Structure 1
Amino acid sequence: MAATTAQPMGSLPSGMGICTTAPDLFYLPELVFGGLVWILVASTHVDPPNPLAWVMFVSVFCFVMTFLWMIIFVSGCHKNSSGWAAADYAYHCLAAMFYLSAGVAMAFITFQKKTGGDIKIYKIDIAAVVFSFVAFILYFLHTILSSIRWKNF
């Protein structure tokens, strides 16, 4: 008889269990693509400063918070309460909205730079836009799966 390692309904994963549950599988890709946005935006000339400062804030904030959130789940500090399931949903919903707004702002600035300037910076900005929208999709999927988990909690 084989033992199952699935999480029971109404429990949040901890330890390496986050590598086997549906919404928590997105932690590492969120960190990778969010970090890429952070690196790419930081490597370009900041002109105009306001929208790119927002993109930098979003990428750094979401990178740090996602890393801390992942550490909380890995260490088991969440104690399987419904409050943590709701907080997981709320954080990922906020992060998805942040990345959507950052991606749109970055796309707008990149579109404006299309007609002049350094082509290398333009290509880096395009990559940042693409990775920003990939990060948005990852956070959005995490939000949907976290809401389902919260509902079933």
Structure 2
Amino acid sequence: MSEPATNPAATSFPVPTISLPLGLEVLRTYSGALVCLEILFGGLVWILVASSNVPVPLLQGWVMFVSVTTFFLSSAYLALLITGLADRINTDWNFLDVTYHFLALLFYFTAFVLEAATTAANGGVSIKPMLNNSDTLLHITNPWGNIVTNLTGNKYSINVAATIFAFIVTLFYGCSMVMGFRRWRKAT
């Protein structure tokens, strides 16, 4: 008698590789805490940029895209770890963690630079009244760069805060990437 044929689809997938604990225990690790901080501060960047009414849509549109996308992806990643569904998906979660955090670090760094450029461009144009004999003339100076924003004091402060928080989130993603890389190297 011959042996029964095995289903190749059932035996071709590796077991999931994950070094982080599943369930609520993940929140007790540095990586879990960093993901929570990425979500919290990334949400703040999203809220702050949106509340500034996006004065330079070309630059701040990318900042909004990055902050919203990474907010939802980090939330989904944390939800997979907390619910334990990551153990049911057959993939190398350590490699996926490093790859995701590297891409998020890269995107958030570009978002930080663009948000800083938008904030720094404030005051590029100065309009000063010049008193004449009977008429008031306006003297307009040209900006230094290509980006010109005219933000009120409140909007400028909001953009400064968004720039600072974008830098902090960039650091969080960098720390998560380094920690994930160490876990991945240990597992392989």
Q: Which runs of 5 or more residues in structure 1 are unaligned? A: 1-9
1:106-133 CA distance string (max 9 Å, x none): 0001000145430110000000000000
- Secondary structure at the aligned position of 1:132 is classed as helix
Task: Report the equivalent of 2:82.
Answer: 74
Task: Report the equivalent of 1:108.
Answer: 117
C-alpha RMSD of matched pairs (Å): 1.6
TM, length-normalised to structure 1? 0.88
1:133 aligned onto 2:167: yes
Contact 1:82 1:150 in 2 (8 A): no
Give the CA deviation at 1:82.
6.3
Task: Report the equivalent of 1:53.
Answer: 61
For the residues of structure 2 that align with 1:47 and 1:22, how far apart are their CA atoms?
37
Amino acid at match of 2:164: V
Rg larger for: 2
TM, length-normalised to structure 2? 0.72
Q: Whose helix fraction is larger, Structure 1's or Structure 2's? A: 1
Identify which of structures 1 and 2 has the higher relative contact order when contacts are C-alpha pairs closer than 8 Å and 6+ apart. 1
1:40 aligned onto 2:48: yes
1:88 aligned onto 2:97: yes
Give the CA deviation at 1:20.
1.9
Give the CA deviation at 1:23.
1.8
Percent of aligned pairs with the same residue? 34
Q: Which runs of 5 or more residues in structure 2 are unaligned? A: 1-17, 125-149
Task: Report the equivalent of 1:143.
Answer: 177
